[in-house]
């Protein structure tokens, strides 16, 4: 069975690949909306990863006390 951390990393890399592909297409075809939306998706991915890590840290702190 695949470890949860490895699976999580593979999912993040897959999403990152799709976002960068959309960004490259938006830039190649000169699509302003495509570029803006893909950059927004990239920012949202970064924020969600940050929130997940913060939630895990708080959960561990609660378990320790």
Q: Are 49 and 12 in contact (CB under 8 A)?
A: yes
Q: What is the pLDDT of residues 7-42, one digit of tens each?
A: 999 999 999 999 999 999 999 999 999 999 999 999
Q: Are 24 and 8 in contact (CB under 8 A)?
A: no
Give the per-residue pLDDT at 29: 96
Nearest 5°: phi and psi at 27?
-70, -40
> Residue 46: which domain range?
4-64
Give the per-residue pLDDT at 32: 96
pTM score of the predicted model: 0.84
Give the per-residue pLDDT at 65: 79
pLDDT band for position 54 (50/70/90)? Answer: very high
Give the per-residue pLDDT at 1: 64
Look at the chain and report how many structural domains it folds into: 1
């Amino acid at each position: 069975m695949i470890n949860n951390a490895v699976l999580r990393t593979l999912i993040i890399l897959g999403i990152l690949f799709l976002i960068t592909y959309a960004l490259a297409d938006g830039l190649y075809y000169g699509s302003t909306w495509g570029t803006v939306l893909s950059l927004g998706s990239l920012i949202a991915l970064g924020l969600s990863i940050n929130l997940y890590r913060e939630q895990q840290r708080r959960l561990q702190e609660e378990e320790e006390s």
